[in-house]
Amino acid sequence: METRSKSLLSAEGIRKSFLFRGSVSTVLDNVNFSIEEGEFVSIIGPSGCGKSTFLELLAGITLPDKGVIRSYGADITGKTGILGYMPQDDLLFPWLNTLQNILLPVKVKGRNTSQATKQIEALLPLFGLQNHIGYHPHQLSGGLKQRVALLRTYMNSTKVLLLDEPLANLDSLTRSQLQTWLKTIVETLKLTVILVTHDIDEAILLSNRIELMSKNPGNFTRSIKVPVQTALEDSLQIELKNIIKAEFLEL
């Protein structure tokens, strides 16, 4: 008998294969996953295990060969625009300024732009962008660009964000500042987040739960609950890191 999940978001029995130069490779097979409202789940796994592919499926950008994506039980497989998705190589349009870049999904959806502009203006200080509204991407630092992309993702969606390595390619200081900032944003705006990352410390800092993924075909192999940060002692942090590292020697 089929059991239908009523989670905020669930993936059930997902298989995804790609045909490349005449041969089929199964990237994900029988993948099951769910997340509840207000959870922050990080996905960690080796390069090429299918993390980005999985987020694309959740975002409805690609279709699974088998299985279903649900939100509160409703089938949302292949439906875009329901969840906020920030791809691994999210690009801002170089000819648009900060405000125009953030407004783009609003325009594409045909929503009222003056109302959205007011909402964006109110959010700018929280995203630390109030002084860069007229700047074009080449005039912004890497950290600022990521914040513009995050605000754009937020404006595009409900309160569910799928973030594919949003803080990669930043220097470690900027990265650690943005991790703290992201934590504040998520708490302030009461977001539900799925974050793909290679950074174990980042996952421990930000998540309530870490899902480890294996390769060939990709699937979730282990789920680790992260205790509340204030109660997280150094020894526990080291233990968590060792558990994750033991699964992936390459990380």
Ligand X SMILES: Nc1ncnc2c1ncn2[C@@H]1O[C@H](COP(=O)(O)OP(=O)(O)OP(=O)(O)O)[C@@H](O)[C@H]1O
Quick check: 11 binds ligand X (CB under 6 A)?
A: no
User: Which stretch in 50-58, 110-118, 153-161, 240-248 sits in contact with ligand X by CB under 6 A?
Assistant: 50-58
Residue 95, binding choice from ligand X, Mg ion, none, Cβ under 5 to 8 Å by partner class: none
Tokens of 143: 């950290």
Do 101 and 93 meet the contact criterion of CB atoms below 8 Å apart? yes
26 to 65: interface string for Mg ion, x by CB under 5 A: -------------------------xx-------------
Q: Which of 211, 194, 219, 163 is nearest to 50 (CA)?
A: 219
Are the C-beta atoms of residues 62 and 87 closer than 8 Å to each other? no
Contact indicator for 202, 42 with CB cutoff of 8 Å: yes
53 binds ligand X (CB under 6 A): yes
Q: Which stretch binds ligand X (CB under 6 A): 3-11, 42-50, 201-209, 220-228?
A: 42-50
Site for Mg ion in 70-89 (CB under 5 A): 88
Pick between residue 51 and residue 152 the one whose CB is nearest to Mg ion: 51
Which one of Mg ion, ligand X, none is in contact with 147 (Cβ closer than 5 to 8 A by kind)? none
User: Does 166 sit near ligand X (CB under 6 A)?
Assistant: no
Rounded Cα gap, residues 4 and 17, in angstroms: 24
Q: Does 47 bind ligand X (CB under 6 A)?
A: yes
Upstream peptide bond of 217 is cis (omega within 30 degrees of 0): yes
- In the structure encoding, which two tokens stand for residue 1, read together? 């008998």
- Say whether 246 sits in a helix, a strand or coil: helix
User: Which two structure tokens, joined as six digits, stand for 36?
Assistant: 């509840």
Q: What is the dihedral of CA 193, 201, 219, 162, to 10 degrees?
A: 20
Q: Which two tokens stand for residue 19?
A: 């045909």
177 lines the binding site for ligand X (CB under 6 A): no
Contact call for residues 68 and 79 (beta carbons, < 8 A)? no
Interaction with ligand X in 85-114: which residues (CB under 6 A)? 88
Interface positions, 61-90, toward ligand X (CB under 6 A): 88
Task: Out of 4, 6, 13, 48, name the contact with ligand X by CB under 6 A.
Answer: 48
**Pick from ligand X, Mg ion, none: which does 27 bind, CB < 5 to 8 A by kind?**
ligand X
> Closest CB to ligand X among 50 and 137?
50
Nearest approach, Cβ of residue 53 and ligand X (Å)? 3
User: Which of ligand X, Mg ion, none interacts with 20 (beta carbon under 5 to 8 A by kind)?
Assistant: ligand X
Peptide bond into 46 cis (omega under 30): no
Cβ atoms 218, 49 nearer than 8 A: yes
Which positions touch Mg ion (CB under 5 A)? 51-52, 88
Which positions touch ligand X (CB under 6 A)? 18, 20, 27, 45, 47-53, 88
